Chains A and B, each alone.
Chain A
Amino acid sequence: MTDDDADTLAALADRRGAERAVYQPAEDSRLLAEAAVDHARGRTLEVGTGSGWVAERIATETTATVVASDPNPAACQEARDREVPAVRADLVAPFRANSLDTVAFNPPYLPTDPDNEWDDWMERALSGGESGRAVIDPFVDTVGRVLRPDGVVLLLVSSLTGFETVVDHAERNGFAATTVCQESYPFETLSVLRLTLDN
């Protein structure tokens, strides 16, 4: 990583409120919320809910029944404070097969130098490892199990993570991918992918 890259990541981390213990709503959260309000239905899980803001918007602006998960206990508490039921979980591991109509996820995706990780909850909320896909890949590998056959995954993807690589990985897992919204920002382009099981 060059010094310029490190500066870019530091600026992004700063913009995302890295001084706090729980990731607070930012541009990526807003884009995912807009997509989810349009596409979420039925039993809906927001993975990695952070502050619970996206989950709360889905719960208040759609007819979906929403549950949120996060590995961070402080994030689960914030979601619960917004009256969203919360579960401490590793991605979709404790959810039953074929139980969810919608799964929304704004993953940690910033590519991070392994020598420069800071190993706390905010790092967990931001860092996608060296590739940026250290959390996205296991999510895409496992989310098909919990999805109902006509279910929908809404996944926030940054250009920093390699958009085409994520789409290819989803297709190898049996998903059809379409882009439902996209916005460009100073350091990245954010997209929300809609993944459906390609039966």
Chain B
Amino acid sequence: MKESLMEILCDPLDKSELELEVEERDGEEIIEGRLIGTVTGEEYPIEDGIPNLLPPDMRDD
């Protein structure tokens, strides 16, 4: 995902802001990392450039 996407993303649980942690970057593109809810503390993985912002109860299906 491009870092500029942060402007429109929020925590799906409570709509609060997300914090970005980058593990692997390719220029503007974040390949691996995570988004963390600044209020909920929930972690949302970024894998192969795709953030998984499904709420926790909808993940892993």
Identify the A interface with B (CB < 8 A).
43, 45, 67, 71, 73, 76-77, 80, 85-90, 93-97, 99-100
Contact = CB atoms under 8 A, between A and B. Distances in A.
A-side interface mostly:
mixed
A85 B48 contact: no
B-side interface mostly:
loop
A67 B1 CA distance: 10
Contacts of B11: 94
Nearest to B35: A94
A96 B9 contact: yes
The residue in B8, B9, B52 that gathers the most chain A C-beta atoms within 10 A of its C-beta is B8
Contact of B1 (A85, A93, A97): A85
Contact of B54 (A43, A88, A95, A99): A88
A85 B7 CA distance: 14
A133 B23 CA distance: 40
Given A71-B54, A87-B1, A88-B53, 16 more contacts: A43-B8, A67-B8, A73-B52, A77-B48, A85-B1, A87-B5, A87-B51, A88-B52, A89-B12, A89-B53, A94-B11, A95-B8, A96-B10, A96-B15, A97-B10, A99-B8
A127 to B, nearest CB: 15
Contacts of B44: 94
Contact of B53 (A43, A45, A87): A87
Nearest to A43: B8
A89 B2 CA distance: 16
B49 to A, nearest CB: 6
20 contacts: A43-B8, A45-B8, A71-B54, A71-B58, A77-B48, A80-B48, A80-B49, A85-B1, A85-B5, A86-B50, A88-B53, A89-B54, A93-B12, A94-B53, A96-B7, A96-B10, A96-B15, A97-B15, A99-B7, A99-B8
